[in-house]
Amino acid sequence: MSVAQRGEGADHGRAPSPGWLPAPAAGGVRRIGTVELRRVRLPLVRRFRTSSHAKAELEHILVVLTDTDGAVGWGEIASPSGPFYSAETVESCWAVARDHLAPLALRTDWKHPAELAAALGKVRGNAFARAGFDIAAWALWSAAAGVPLAYALGGRRDHVEAGVSLGIEPTVDDLLAQVGLRVEEGYRRVKLKIAPGWDVEPVRAVRAAHPDVPLHVDANGAYEDIPAHRAVLEQLDELGLLMIEQPFAPRALVAHAALQERIATPVCLDESVEEVDDLVTALRLGAGRILNIKVSRMGGLTHAVRAHDLAYEHGVPVWCGGMHEFGIGRAANVALSALAGFTLPSDVSGSDRYYARDVTTRPIASAEGLVEVPTAPGLGWEADLPYVEQRTTDRLVLGAGDGA
């Protein structure tokens, strides 16, 4: 089933759960009347460190699309501030959104979000920037049709399982304390960030303290395909992990395939798969057995669903990764995680894990490791406009006259 067919009676192999509304019809032609961009900054509850950098606050770009009939959709460009996870930054996304994506959106007629995504695809790369527009288009379209975003995408779950991601801590004891808190909160999977020098010892300590907790590690490409690093990864293979995520650099698919042949633990790809064609290559090479699908990295929900469908066809389990999204982007992640192929806990932990106050009127909450999938039309969470205004550092509104 193609993404263009979603929302037209598709059930993705599952019967609709009680209470779900009928799937939306494609509807008439839409045109965006205004594009609003907001740079919004939120402090993190706790400093977060990965193999490449640390952060204490985040600035993301919120995208608000309003069509000529008055329908509104919110999206989020959840790019990092610096070029560490990818080449994109808040500054580059702002420029691309302002100078290229907004004008394209303003002059494109579309019936389905996939058609707008195709038009925005004229802008090469810049997946994070495109994702914000694509999320907003799906939110607008599903809200106008009167159905939940998850259902419009093809999802049929009432709840999704939540995992939690923990950064590199100053000491092993600090890490153990954080893991203990999250296990008590009921999260269904714990992910540990690792890097050369912070790997076997802390992971072994966590595994000893929590022998039955689904545990996985994420290197964000920090290791090289050299004997010393391969030896470390083979030691991690002995610790009963759910997966080893992105050990090598994004384009090192051959190295990932060779590692997967040597170890029993599934290799999970993240940064390596930016486009569906990357996934085709990875599947052909046998470069991993699990896929992390990030809405931002894939350029939006349209392409994330296509990646899900391909992985589903090949029997590859998937889960939805996160970029410390604010509530808007996190709502999109929850909706995506309702699809059938998301059989592993996703990074949709509660908003309070990262922000004392989120940009939505109610936080996204996890109870016993489960997040409820909204049944309200559209995203299911509303933007807290007064607070968004308070945290906005820059704002730009473009209209039809700016789309020529």
Q: Could you tell me the pLDDT band of residue 18, with boundaries at 50, 70 and 90?
A: very low
Structure tokens at 49: 């460190």
Count of residues making up the chain: 404
Which single residue is written with the structure tokens 């009432």?
Answer: 158
Residues 254-272: what's their mean pLDDT? Answer: 98
CA distance 264 to 376: 42
Tokens of 34: 């205004």
Bridge partner list, 65: 35, 73
Pairing between strand 243-245 and 370-372?
unpaired
pLDDT score recorded for residue 15 = 31
Domains of the chain: 3-147+385-402 (3.30.390.10), 153-372 (3.20.20.120)
Three-class HEC string of the chain: CCHHHCCCCCCCCCCCCCCCCCCCCCCCCEEEEEEEEEEEEEEEEEEEECCCCEEEEEEEEEEEEEECCCCEEEEEECCCCCCCCCCCCHHHHHHHHHHHHHHHHHCCEECCHHHHHHHHCCCCCCHHHHHHHHHHHHHHHHHHHCCEHHHHHCCCCCEEEECEEECCCCCHHHHHHHHHHHHHCCCCCEEEECECCECHHHHHHHHHHCCCCCEEEECCCCCCCCHHHHHHHHHHHHHCCCEEECCCCCCCHHHHHHHHHHCCCCEEECCCCCCHHHHHHHHHHCCCCEEEECCCCCCCHHHHHHHHHHHHHCCCCEEECCCCCCHHHHHHHHHHCCCCCECCCECCCCHHHCCCCCCECCCCCCECCEEECCCCCECCCCECHHHHHHHEEEEEEEEHHHCC
The confidence band for 121, taking pLDDT boundaries of 50, 70 and 90, is: very high
CA distance 190 to 214: 6
Look up the pTM and report it.
0.90
What is the structure's pLDDT at 45?
A: 76
Per-residue pLDDT band at 17 (split at 50, 70, 90) = very low
Catalytic residues: 193, 294
Taking 70 as the threshold, does the pLDDT of residue 80 lie above it?
yes
CA distance 203 to 236: 8
Identify the pLDDT of residue 311. 97
Backbone φ, ψ for residue 200 (5° rounding): -65, -45
Mean pLDDT of the chain: 90
Judged against a pLDDT cut of 50, whether residue 247 lies above it is answered with yes
The pLDDT of residue 6 is above 80? no
